[in-house]
Amino acid sequence: MVVLEATQAAIAAAGRALRSGALVAFPTETVYGLGADATDGRAVAAIFAAKGRPRFNPLIVHVGEVAQAEQLGSLTDSARQLAAAFWPGPLTLVVAKERHSPIADLASAGLATVALRVPAHPIARALLRASDRPVAAPSANRSGHVSATTAAHVAADLGASVPIILDGGPTPIGLESTVVDATGPEACILRLGGLARESLERALGRPLAFALGAPGRPASPGMLTRHYAPATRLRLEANEVRAGEALLAFGPAVPKHAAAAINLSPSGDLVEAAAKLFSALRELDATGAQAIAVMPIPHLGLGEAINDRLQRAVRSP
Ligand code: TXA
Ligand code: MG
């Protein structure tokens, strides 16, 4: 791990690192982000591994320009209004993902929506230009810890799991971005943050509700996030395939005779498996199999988040 003063040369090196699939922590005007190329599923999986997140929450995808956001998501009228008023800035807009979006499924946790933000911090913007990629980045802290607002916090919290930390001093806002769900005609607040509700309401010319819960007491963001679940029934911990079943395999020893099979990682690599999880579920879901037999996934490292997601998919109707 190196902490680099964010000079032009350091930003250029960090941009190359991102393009090669490595993680880079960088300052934004809100908090430090732990970034990865959002189009690279394995790089995105490494974010979850580094944070020790027990779940695959959807991540914010950062872009340098509003025009790029338009290519990744379909902006509703209210999204456009808010983007015009507050981007670049501490606002994240959840919008419908564009069809054929290059964003890795894992970055948006398999959802049909994507959270987009154009940050204002000059170092974040320079890094986005240098990498020439959309950058998925949650706050650069270990899961359950508070968001990091200095490079030293990032280093203390994530240390060895981040090859490059760009140091741009303390972040000016120090609170995460405000997240607005702008997928429908009635935009609503998913998370309060660095942009005040009053400012949003002034720009829209009308009051904004919270997505759930009483005003001022939004339910936790995790609860607000709808989760992707396949329509096909999942059968977990499967060591054999039954008639009519598709197989979601893991590891080198795979049962034969599945109607369709996808191996999340023949070598048993949990980072590779996480990167493939959502697209594999989608693909198997589309095969028309009666059920999807899922081989046991070790409950270690990213295996915990993979199992969490599989268990939710079993429970949902
Ligand atoms: O200021 C910030 O927002 C920082 C900097 C680095 O940009 N990032 C950040 O990311 O705080 P994170 O991952 O800690 O929080 C992202 C929030 C979560 O509450 C997540 O549930 C929500 O955004 N979110 C992301 N994608 C979503 C989606 N498709 N639908 C609903 N909520 C989403
Ligand atoms: Mg966070």
> Which pLDDT tens digits describe the chain residue by residue (317 residues)?
999 999 999 999 999 999 999 999 999 999 999 999 999 999 999 999 999 988 899 999 999 999 999 999 999 999 999 999 999 999 999 999 998 999 999 999 999 999 999 999 999 999 999 999 999 999 999 988 888 999 999 999 998 999 999 999 999 998 899 999 999 888 999 988 889 889 999 999 999 988 865 444 444 444 455 667 788 999 999 999 999 999 999 999 999 889 899 999 999 999 999 999 988 998 999 999 999 999 999 998 899 889 988 988 886 65
C-alpha dist (Å) from residue 247 to 107, 259, 285: 24, 8, 11
| Residue of 51, 59, 60 to mutate, ligand 1, most atoms within 8 A of C-beta | 60
**Which residues, including other chains, have CB under 8 Å from residue 25's CB and lie 6 or more apart?**
32, 33, 34, 35, 140, 148, 151, 154, 158, 162, 164, 165, 166
Q: What does the alpha-carbon distance between residue 119 and residue 159 come to, in Å, rounded to a whole number?
A: 24
Q: What does the alpha-carbon distance between residue 88 and residue 161 come to, in Å, rounded to a whole number?
A: 29
- Protein residues with CB under 6 Å of any ligand 1 atom: 28, 30-31, 33, 57-60, 92, 94, 108, 111, 113-115, 117, 137-139, 176-177, 179, 190-191, 221, 225
Q: What is the residue type of 39?
A: T
Please say whether the beta carbons of 153 and 37 come within 8 A: no
Residue showing tokens 């009053």: 198
The pair of structure tokens assigned to 242 is 């039954």
Distance between Cα 265 and ligand 1 center (Å): 28
Q: What does the alpha-carbon distance between residue 21 and residue 27 come to, in Å, rounded to a whole number?
A: 19
